[in-house]
């Protein structure tokens, strides 16, 4: 059985700042299932979740 893949999260850390970004593509094998996925989400109190 093929598995979903949702990859590519990038983080850049500086002494006073952090930048996170990710692509928007989720694939199942060779098929693109979603091209606009949100892989980085802002939570409360300047926290984020990525995956």
Given 5, 7, 10, 32, the catalytic residue: 7
Give the whole-angstrom CA distance, residue 14 versus residue 24: 24
Check if 7 is active-site.
yes
Contacts of residue 49, Cβ cutoff 8 Å, sequence gap at least 6: 40, 41, 43
Residues marked as catalytic: 7
């Amino acid at each position: 059985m093929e598995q979903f893949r949702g990859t590519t999260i990038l983080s850049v850390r500086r002494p006073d700042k952090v930048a996170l970004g990710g692509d928007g593509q989720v694939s199942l094998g060779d098929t693109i299932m979603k091209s606009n996925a949100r892989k980085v989400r802002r939570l409360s109190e300047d926290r984020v979740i990525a995956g």
